[in-house]
Amino acid sequence: MSQDNNTNTTKTTGHVWDNDLQELDNPLPRWWIWGFYITFLFTIVYWLFYPAWPIGNNYTKGVPGLNSITYTATQPNGEQVEKTTHWNMRSKFMVEMNELQEAQKKWFDKVAAMPFEDVQKDAELMQFVNSVGKTMFTDNCAPCHQQGAQGKIGFSPNLADDHWQYGGTYQNIEETIVAGRNGYMPPFKEVLQDEQITQLANYVLEMSGEPHDAEASKAGAALFRSETAACFYCHGENAQGKIQMGSANLTDKIWLWADIPGSKTDAAKLAEVKRVITGGLNRGVMPAWSGRLSPAQIKLLTVYVHDSLGGGK
Amino acid sequence: MPQTGAAKPSSLLHKQIPIVTRSVKGKFRNFKTAVMVVAYSIYFLLPWMPWQRNSAADQAVMFDLESRRFFIFDLIVYPQDIFWLAMLLFIAAALLFFTTGLIGRAWCGYFCFQTLWSDLFILIERMIQGERPARLRLMKQPLGAEKILKIGGSHALMILVSLWTAITFAAYFSYAPDFVIALFTGHAVEAAYITVGVLTLTTYFAAGVIREHVCTLACPYARFQGVMYEADTLAVSYDSKRGEGLKGRTLPIIGLKTRDERQEKGHGDCIDCGFCVQVCPTGIDIRDGLQYQCISCGLCIDACNNIMDSVGYPRGLIRYDSEKNLSSDQPKPARLEWKRVKVIGYATALLIAAGILLYNIGTRNDTDVSVQQVRQPLFIMLSDGSYRNRYQVHIVNKTELDARYHLSVRGIPASSLDLGSLKEVRVRAGKSLIMNAKVDLERTIAQQTEKFEFVVTSSNPDTAPVVVPANFNSQR
């Protein structure tokens, strides 16, 4: 057994293990102790201002009057209600949102008071449209139209290009946002023979400058304008579509329902167009936004789609 | 052998003996005073200096966070110039390394704000409480009217100086006359009160309460200075060979008064008067050699020289000298040894960095343009088969006057640029603007075009057009 020849004066707790293992009893640093006591004081101050002690299903809410916070909330029915409560993160967030709305109001008012055409001429105002419009678009439109409004073939149109089924003027776009759209094309599988559908599909491909069978296309052109298929009723004599109905322009290079850009072979392209003619469409539905966005918001969003996305006419 | 842990607790746990310094006269004291006068004149008066401006308040130096511009006389610094700050920090670091390698901690001793404010607060203590012996007496006195008045008074004055220091700092960030009035009438912004409050407390606490502990415990520079020192570096040093002799320092008692008597009996020139310790603001004994607590202020040199003069010994027992020279058999007069790799290297880095910074400031264009391509989607096919790319053009007007900017393209047909009905944009002085630009190219041209350039021309004839490269994407 080694002899304990410890000569220093460090205090120990008196506990000894294995004869020589001791527990030192050094004092805590003074700054640490004081910091510890200060946290006690902090908690008391905290109870005065914030929700703290749980009591059953309830909790202490701090001293009323010392920590009250007032904000304006919009009820689901659109009614504005002023609420006063104790400090909490949600109410503080609401106050900030109120301040933000107040700060944005003058810009919204400015847009609302201007004719559509003049907004784009005001470069400083357009910066506001760009940033607020982007947020509104992302929150409301991007789930279908995708980020950057690039659309998705077979699902939603690209809003950045210059093709507009329902018209690309400010008024058209505003109307689309306010009332929504309901695109429809009947299926032709009961009406036409498979060969006739092939002929029509070839004609549609020809009009867009895609590879096609010239003979079948010629027959398709006749069929297009015949009473049998009656395509021209909706798509028009020149196949350029009708804005009133939202029927597609079949002569341009832009595809919404038939995935031509994604089809590698000529056969695949033909099959895509045939699929659309055969089955028709009932998915061209856009909901109305008039109940969800205010008229000022819709106007700003219209300018954003027309000018910031850049496809407007 | 049993292991019982630390032999002694850290000295942090024990009460420190307060340092009460003695005042001293001499050339280093004069230099320190001169630095303090110049530095304080600049710091406290600069926010009040008027300067003619078109687009902001008439203040010569103002760091205007609200408009995101720093006004430094005729130079206006924009957030885009953040690179300058990096260069400035690099220059400051290189300058610090350069001077430390050459003459030790000159920054600490003469220029550091901790030193300046500590020095001022020590001066306040001396003015109110008296010289060192009087202050030591006052500290030992029981609590009474005199003690409360003198110690309380000097701390009150320190807090006032701290307050004005803090207000001056905050005044650099807004128009000073308006700011000070708003501050005292309760109309300043919350951030101003927080800044002034925090700075008042930290200034008072650092320079008035913990003082030298900032240098010895908190400041990292004291700890890494060692790697910058070399054997040739000039540092405040005690010539121990001369001071100690063979038998060590001793008081000038009878029989040991003259140098000859002392040398005969083997004693050095140090008469152990302790003045070098009493004047030291960090409370160290320089005779123990170079130590990390020494801030190189030179006050011990002044103190020792005065004593040497009064006893008629030659000056320079404590002096600026290098370790190499002091340890040599025949010490030569101290000399600045600059022909060293480290010193020349730091000087070169310093010159290069300063050159880059000055060149960059001198050649900055008053129009700053950056072009960001809209990447969602990267390109758009239009109904006639042509391709559209969209860009956001960010124009910053760095002049003092409003200007109009005209955007055009180079390398592709001029007609392919579509800005809607916008012909040119007006950007207000010191402001920036982001505009949308569309570029439409026909399929064949689009597939051959990978790059083109935007050209931004200002209506201000003094400003050169800015050319910014851009990419064009299409399905290839």
- Which CATH number is A142's domain given? 1.10.760.10
Greatest Cα pair distance in chain A: 116
- Asked if residue B244 lies in contact with residue B261, where contact means CB atoms within 8 angstroms, the answer is no
The verdict on a CB contact (< 8 Å) between A209 and B385 is yes
Q: B3: which chain A residues are within 8 Å (Cβ-Cβ)?
A: 20
Would you call B11 an interface residue with chain A, using a CB distance cutoff of 8 Å?
Answer: no
Helix (H) or strand (E) holding A35: helix A30-49
Q: Quick one: pLDDT band at residue A283, thresholds 50, 70, 90?
A: confident
Q: For residues A303 and B227, what is the distance between their CA atoms, to the nearest angstrom?
A: 63
Q: For residues A7 and A24, what is the distance between their CA atoms, to the nearest angstrom?
A: 14
Whole-number pLDDT of residue A25: 86
The verdict on a CB contact (< 8 Å) between A120 and B422 is yes
Q: For residues A299 and A170, what is the distance between their CA atoms, to the nearest angstrom?
A: 9
Whether residue A229 is contained in a domain is answered as yes
Mean pLDDT confidence for A220-243: 92
Whether residue A224 is contained in a domain is answered as yes
Strand partners, A275: none
Whole-number pLDDT of residue B386: 92
Q: A249: which chain B residues are within 8 Å (Cβ-Cβ)?
A: 383
Would you call B433 an interface residue with chain A, using a CB distance cutoff of 8 Å?
Answer: yes
**Plot region of B314 (φ>0 → left; ψ -120 to 50 → alpha; else → beta):** beta
Q: Are residues A192 and A251 in the same domain?
A: yes
Q: Are residues A29 and A147 in the same domain?
A: no
Whole-number pLDDT of residue B145: 93
The verdict on a CB contact (< 8 Å) between B12 and A162 is no
Q: Using H for helix, E for strand and C for coil, what is the string for chain B?
A: CCCCCCCCCCHHHCCCCCCCCCCCCCHHHHHHHHHHHHHHHHHHHHHHCCCCCCCCCCCCEEEECCCCEEEECCEEECHHHHHHHHHHHHHHHHHHHHHHHHHCCHHHHHHCHHHHHHHHHHHHHHHHHCCHHHHHHHHHCCCCHHHHHHHHHHHHHHHHHHHHHHHHHHHCCCCHHHHHHHHHHCCCCHHHHHHHHHHHHHHHHHHHHHCHHHHHHHCHHHHHHHHCCCCCCEEEEECHHHHHECCCCCCCCCCCCCHHHHHHCCECCCCCCCHHHHCCCCCCCHHHCCCCCCCCCCHHHHHHHHHHHHHCCCCCCEEEEEHHHHHCCCCCCCCCCCCCHHHHHHHHHHHHHHHHHHHHHHCCCCEEEEEEECCCCCCEECCCCCEEEEEEEEEEECCCCCEEEEEEEECCCHHHEECCCCCCEEECCCCEEEEEEEEEECHHHHHHCCEEEEEEEECCCCCCCEEEEEECCCCC
The verdict on a CB contact (< 8 Å) between B438 and A310 is yes
Residue B193: how many other CB atoms lie within 10 Å: 13
Give the residue carrying structure tokens 């559509």: A116
Q: A252: which chain B residues are within 8 Å (Cβ-Cβ)?
A: 383-384
Q: For residues A194 and B210, what is the distance between their CA atoms, to the nearest angstrom?
A: 94
Q: Are residues A173 and A300 in the same domain?
A: yes
Whether residue A1 is contained in a domain is answered as no
Query: What is the SS3 assignment for A166?
Result: coil
Whether residue A226 is contained in a domain is answered as yes
When divided into structural domains, chain A yields a total of: 3
Q: Are residues A259 and A246 in the same domain?
A: yes
Give the residue carrying structure tokens 């009493």: B278
* Chain centroid offset of residue B89 CA: 9
Q: A5: which chain B residues are within 8 Å (Cβ-Cβ)?
A: 1-2
Q: For residues B318 and B315, what is the distance between their CA atoms, to the nearest angstrom?
A: 8
* Chain centroid offset of residue B146 CA: 40
**Plot region of A239 (φ>0 → left; ψ -120 to 50 → alpha; else → beta):** left
Q: For residues A197 and A309, what is the distance between their CA atoms, to the nearest angstrom?
A: 36
Q: B360-388 burial, b for 16+ CB within 10 Å, e for fewer?
A: eeeebebbbbebeebeebebbbbbeebbb
Q: Are residues A159 and A75 in the same domain?
A: no
Q: Quick one: pLDDT band at residue A9, thresholds 50, 70, 90?
A: low
Q: At residue A170, does pLDDT exceed 70?
A: yes
Q: B418: which chain A residues are within 8 Å (Cβ-Cβ)?
A: 310
Q: Which chain B residue's Cα is nearest to A31?
A: B13
The verdict on a CB contact (< 8 Å) between B384 and A253 is yes
Whether residue A13 is contained in a domain is answered as yes
The two tokens of residue B133 are: 């012996």
Q: Which chain A residue's Cα is nearest to B2?
A: A20
Best of A11, A22, A117, A126 to mutate (most B CBs within 10 Å, chain B): A126
- Asked if residue B156 lies in contact with residue B148, where contact means CB atoms within 8 angstroms, the answer is no
Q: For residues B170 and B176, what is the distance between their CA atoms, to the nearest angstrom?
A: 8
Name the minimum distance, in Å, from the CA of B309 to any CA of chain A. Answer: 46
Q: Find, among A280, A269, A266, A183, the residue nearest to A229 by Cα.
A: A280
Name the minimum distance, in Å, from the CA of B415 to any CA of chain A. Answer: 16
The verdict on a CB contact (< 8 Å) between B381 and A161 is yes
Q: B390: which chain A residues are within 8 Å (Cβ-Cβ)?
A: 160, 310
Query: Tens-of-pLDDT digits for all 476 residues of chain B?
Result: 333 333 333 444 445 578 899 999 999 999 999 999 999 999 999 999 999 988 888 999 999 998 889 999 989 999 889 899 999 999 999 999 999 999 999 999 999 999 999 999 999 999 999 999 999 999 999 999 999 999 999 999 999 999 999 999 999 999 999 999 999 999 999 999 999 999 999 999 999 998 988 998 889 888 887 788 888 999 999 999 999 988 889 898 888 888 888 988 899 999 999 999 999 999 999 999 988 889 999 999 999 999 999 999 999 999 999 999 998 888 888 888 888 999 999 999 999 999 999 999 998 888 999 999 999 889 999 988 899 999 999 999 988 889 999 999 999 999 999 988 888 899 998 889 999 999 999 999 999 999 999 999 999 888 889 999 999 999 87
Q: Find, among A74, A66, A64, A67, the residue nearest to A94 by Cα.
A: A74
The verdict on a CB contact (< 8 Å) between A27 and B6 is no
Q: Are residues A61 and A134 in the same domain?
A: no
Query: What is the SS3 assignment for A259?
Result: coil
Whole-number pLDDT of residue B7: 36
The verdict on a CB contact (< 8 Å) between A310 and B434 is no
Would you call B8 an interface residue with chain A, using a CB distance cutoff of 8 Å?
Answer: yes
Size of interface A-B (CB pairs under 8 A): 98
Pair type for strands A21-24 and A12-17: antiparallel
Q: A130: which chain B residues are within 8 Å (Cβ-Cβ)?
A: 392, 434, 436
Q: Which of B4, B377, B425 sits opposite A8 (nearest CB)?
A: B4
Q: Quick one: pLDDT band at residue A3, thresholds 50, 70, 90?
A: very low
Whether residue A2 is contained in a domain is answered as no
Q: For residues A240 and A248, what is the distance between their CA atoms, to the nearest angstrom?
A: 7
Chain A positions with Cβ closer than 8 Å to B: 2, 4-6, 8, 10, 12, 20, 22, 24, 26-27, 29-30, 117, 120-121, 123-124, 126-127, 130, 146-148, 150, 158, 160-163, 209, 249, 252-254, 261, 307-308, 310-311
Q: Which of A2, A147, A254 sits opposite B2 (nearest CB)?
A: A2
The verdict on a CB contact (< 8 Å) between A26 and B384 is no
The two tokens of residue B352 are: 């290069």
Residue B423: how many other CB atoms lie within 10 Å: 10
Query: What is the SS3 assignment for A81?
Result: strand
What is the sign of the dihedral through the CA atoms of B170, B172, B177 and B178? negative
The verdict on a CB contact (< 8 Å) between A310 and B7 is no
Would you call B435 an interface residue with chain A, using a CB distance cutoff of 8 Å?
Answer: yes
Name the minimum distance, in Å, from the CA of B381 to any CA of chain A. Answer: 7
Domains of chain B: residue spans and CATH = 17-48+104-227 (no CATH), 234-327 (no CATH), 367-471 (2.60.40.10)
Q: Are residues A158 and A297 in the same domain?
A: yes
- For residue A258, the 8-state DSSP code is S
The verdict on a CB contact (< 8 Å) between B385 and A5 is no
Best of A28, A116, A309 to mutate (most B CBs within 10 Å, chain B): A309
Whether residue A313 is contained in a domain is answered as no
Q: Are residues A106 and A21 in the same domain?
A: yes
Query: Could you give the angle at which helices B27-45 and B113-129 cross, rounded to 10 degrees?
Result: 110
Residue type at B251 in one-letter notation: L
Q: At residue A2, does pLDDT exceed 60?
A: no
Name the minimum distance, in Å, from the CA of B11 to any CA of chain A. Answer: 10
- Asked if residue B424 lies in contact with residue B456, where contact means CB atoms within 8 angstroms, the answer is no
Interface predicted TM-score (ipTM) of this complex, two decimals: 0.80
Q: Are residues A204 and A267 in the same domain?
A: yes
Q: Are residues A135 and A225 in the same domain?
A: no
Q: Which chain A residue's Cα is nearest to B1?
A: A2
Name the minimum distance, in Å, from the CA of B252 to any CA of chain A. Answer: 40
The two tokens of residue B387 are: 């391709």
Q: B377: which chain A residues are within 8 Å (Cβ-Cβ)?
A: 148, 150, 158, 160
Q: Are residues A293 and A259 in the same domain?
A: no
Alpha carbon distances (Å) from B309 to B59, B150, B306, B316: 50, 34, 5, 10
- Asked if residue B222 lies in contact with residue B293, where contact means CB atoms within 8 angstroms, the answer is yes
Residue type at B192 in one-letter notation: A
The two tokens of residue B389 are: 């790319």
Residue B330: how many other CB atoms lie within 10 Å: 5
Name the minimum distance, in Å, from the CA of B363 to any CA of chain A. Answer: 29
∠ CA A270-A275-A280, rounded to 5°: 135
Would you call B374 an interface residue with chain A, using a CB distance cutoff of 8 Å?
Answer: yes
Name the minimum distance, in Å, from the CA of A77 to any CA of chain B. Answer: 36
Q: Are residues A246 and A210 in the same domain?
A: yes
- Asked if residue A277 lies in contact with residue A190, where contact means CB atoms within 8 angstroms, the answer is no
Q: Which of A20, A120, A252 sits opposite B384 (nearest CB)?
A: A252
Q: A12: which chain B residues are within 8 Å (Cβ-Cβ)?
A: 4
The verdict on a CB contact (< 8 Å) between B383 and A162 is yes
The two tokens of residue A25 are: 């009893």
Q: For residues B317 and B240, what is the distance between their CA atoms, to the nearest angstrom?
A: 8
Whole-number pLDDT of residue A11: 81
Q: At residue A1, does pLDDT exceed 70?
A: no
| Domain interval for residue A174 | 116-180+287-308
Q: Which of A10, A30, A127 sits opposite B6 (nearest CB)?
A: A10
